[in-house]
Structure 1
């Protein structure tokens, strides 16, 4: 189907980016490597991981969620650090509303990117939620023992489970 569409639109599919990824439905299932997928006359390479639109896919559904949650947290941390020069830090920075707007606009979308596609387990959602709570407390210069519900009420943010 993709080859016929590419031919109709007169563009070439890149054989290095077009790969076959066998997804195992469970840990006990084994998939034979002898299966050969073709795209026209070209044999597709079998790979263990593949990235498409910023979402890393692996042969296991659980591993896909773990890899993407870890990646989202590190990317959100980098986005947060890049905004420090713009005044996104506690004391002597921007006012609280502006800092929260920056967080909501630039960091939160990176943190939650693709979650609806790979559906993480509750432990992974807790990791995302912990990152969000710690970040908000740091931005607002609140102590670590401040109640999470109070922080969410003050900021108007939803927990990651609700997003």
Structure 2
């Protein structure tokens, strides 16, 4: 196995860091907060994140995060975004998650937002998001993925830049690669590709504003299309919905 590692590192031109590498006689280890395993790596990490987020959610119920007779929906959503959502998604933006795996996270995300608003289980998903000005968990993952990509592109460390150049060239067609997933995400939101960003990288504040604008418009359009198709939501008054903002009915409480 050591010979295999040696040949692989020579082939891909990088060195094994002695203090950041360890050999373990088991099938799993923790690296940068993620479980690295031979099998079911994504599922194991998703399960861990949901358990952590659920514990954080329960610990905040005494502060009023319990829906009915608790804090107002906007305050509850802000608490959720600050203390629970980061625990739910930590580190997952670098994993090549499937649609089914994202749906597992989506279920927790959606149910929590529904609970914050004291809505019934039968409430349409699009209404749950549009009333709060929230986006699905897939969009939240994309936001973190693009933030990670920007950090790599803007890094001043030459080793990181060399690694970025090599990996974006070698793994541009590898579905399990972070760079392949990032390029797909950039296409979804009609953002510049990696090579365009490398040659003309905007400052962080402009990039953040651009990503938020594109992402909010994309998800709001998708959710409003779904709303129009449901007769039960004809009184939602989507013309009053602003990108990334709570519904007017919440701001006038």
Q: Taking structure 1 as the reference length, what is the TM-score of the superposition?
A: 0.71
Q: Which runs of 5+ in 2 are unaligned?
A: 1-15, 141-253
Could you say which residue in structure 2 is the equivalent of 1:158? 135
Could you say which residue in structure 1 is the equivalent of 2:116? 139
Pairs aligned (count): 125
CA displacement 1:22-69 (0-9 Å, x = unmatched): xxxxxxxxxxxxxxxxxxxxxxx3321011232111023xx1101001
Contact persistence 1:64–1:118 (CA under 8 A): no
Contact persistence 2:56–2:84 (CA under 8 A): yes
1:89 to 53, 60, 66: 66
Q: Which structure 2 residues correspond to residues 8-157 of structure 1 after superposition, within 5 A?
A: 19-20=22-23, 45-60=24-39, 63-157=40-134
User: Per residue, is there more helix in 1 or in 2?
Assistant: 2
Could you say which residue in structure 1 is the equivalent of 2:17? 2
Distance in 2 between the 1:96 and 1:161 partners?
22
Q: Which runs of 5+ in 1 are unaligned?
A: 4-12, 21-44
User: Per residue, is there more strand in 1 or in 2?
Assistant: 1
CA displacement 1:64-101 (0-9 Å, x = unmatched): 10100111111111110010011111122112211110
Q: Taking structure 2 as the reference length, what is the TM-score of the superposition?
A: 0.47
RMSD between superposed Cα atoms in Å: 1.6
Q: Name the SS for the 2:135 alignment partner.
A: coil
Distance in 2 between the 1:67 and 1:74 partners?
11
Displacement after TM superposition at 1:18 (Å): 5.4
Q: Name the SS for the 1:145 alignment partner.
A: coil
Distance in 1 between the 2:135 and 2:57 partners?
19
CA displacement 1:85-144 (0-9 Å, x = unmatched): 111111221122111100011111111111122221111100100111111111111011
Q: Name the SS for the 2:130 alignment partner.
A: helix
